[in-house]
Amino acid sequence: MSVILKTDKLRVEFKSREFRQSPKVALSGLDLEVGTGEVFGFLGPNGAGKTTTINVLLGFVQPTSGAAALFGIDVRQPIARQRIGYLPEMTYYYKFLSAEELLRFYAKIFGLPRNETDKRIAQLLKLVELEHASKRQIKTYSKGMQQRVGLAQALINNPDLLVLDEPTSGLDPVGRMKVREIIQRLKNEGKTVFFASHELGEVETVCDRVAIISEGELKAIGRVSEIVAQHPSLEKAFLEVIGYKPQLA
């Protein structure tokens, strides 16, 4: 199994806007390795550094020190993003385009040939069950439909690595189940999924390995079965690892 996502002693500091305030450390010495075909869960409480890690991997944020690579290519090179798909936490798409137009636009950015694009768009709209609404502008879609458009755009280039930032946040149970099914399907196709989430039950169901970070530091990493074996549940393991102590006895 080859490593396709790697971070090496990654450190990210954000300068404070306040006078004489020390910089905020968002990530500190983060070492991660994700291999081909893995579904990797990336867990942590709010403000732990999950989204910052994803932002570094996608080239949005420059690390203060350390390195990050996708497919062995430095993440600062745009070509490192050629084989990845990214689904952000919220739906951030051009609302004046229809789902089909949005997918066609992203396909052009990936340089897909026209006949392949048509085929791919038809497949994806079927996969996310949006064939009936493919010509409607995205602004008329429900939140669940917009999230499914997001998933379709993340898959337009048939990526080898899918980066999902809280893909089921705000979705109803049916929507969550659909996203879970799609992740399972991708896993069966041998795709790698890097998956940041708060939904521990979901992570337990779909992930092979998980990493838990807190306050920018890696607290635990390993197979889900190994972590769960030492604790009554993944939730208990998570709370213990991040050092949460219940206030009520």
Partner 1 sequence: MRTIFALAGVVIKELYRRKDFYVLFILTIVICVIMASVNIFNDNQIVRYLKELCLLLIWISSLVIAITTTARQIPAEREQRTLLPLLAKPLTRTQLILGKFLGCWLACGLVLICFYVFFGALAASREHAWPLLSYFQAAILHWMALGVVIAMTLLGSLVFAAPSSNSTICFVLVATILCVGRYLDAVALTLGEPLRSVIYAFYYAIPHVEIPFEMRNLIVHDWPLIGWKFIGLDILYLLAYMAIFLVAACLVFRRKPVN
* Phi/psi at 81 (5° precision): -95, 5
Determine, following the binding rule CB under 8 A, whether residue 90 of this chain makes contact with partner 1: yes
Pairing of strands 3-14, 161-165: unpaired
Rounded CA-CA distance 172/178 in Å is 10
Minimum CB distance to partner 1, residue 80 (Å): 8
Report the candidate in 232, 226, 207 with the shortest Cα–Cα distance to residue 43: 207
Minimum CB distance to partner 1, residue 10 (Å): 17
Minimum CB distance to partner 1, residue 90 (Å): 7
Q: Which one of 17-25, 30-38, 64-72, 147-155 is the stretch in contact with partner 1 (CB under 8 A)? A: 147-155
Looking at residues 202 to 241 of the shown chain, list those that interact with partner 1 (rule: CB under 8 A).
Answer: none
Minimum CB distance to partner 1, residue 139 (Å): 10
Looking at residues 44 to 63 of the shown chain, list those that interact with partner 1 (rule: CB under 8 A).
Answer: 55, 58-61
Question: Among 11, 25, 64, 105, which residue interacts with partner 1 (rule: CB under 8 A)?
Answer: 105
Determine, following the binding rule CB under 8 A, whether residue 73 of this chain makes contact with partner 1: no
Determine, following the binding rule CB under 8 A, whether residue 19 of this chain makes contact with partner 1: no
Minimum CB distance to partner 1, residue 15 (Å): 11
Question: Among 111, 190, 232, 246, which residue interacts with partner 1 (rule: CB under 8 A)?
Answer: 111
What is the total count of residues that contact partner 1 (CB under 8 A)? 31
Residue 177 CB partners (closer than 8 Å, separation 6+): none
Closest CB to partner 1 among residues 12, 220: 12
The residues of the shown chain that bind partner 1, judged by CB under 8 A, are: 55, 58-61, 78-82, 84, 86, 88, 90, 92-94, 96-97, 101, 105-106, 108-111, 137, 150, 153-154, 163
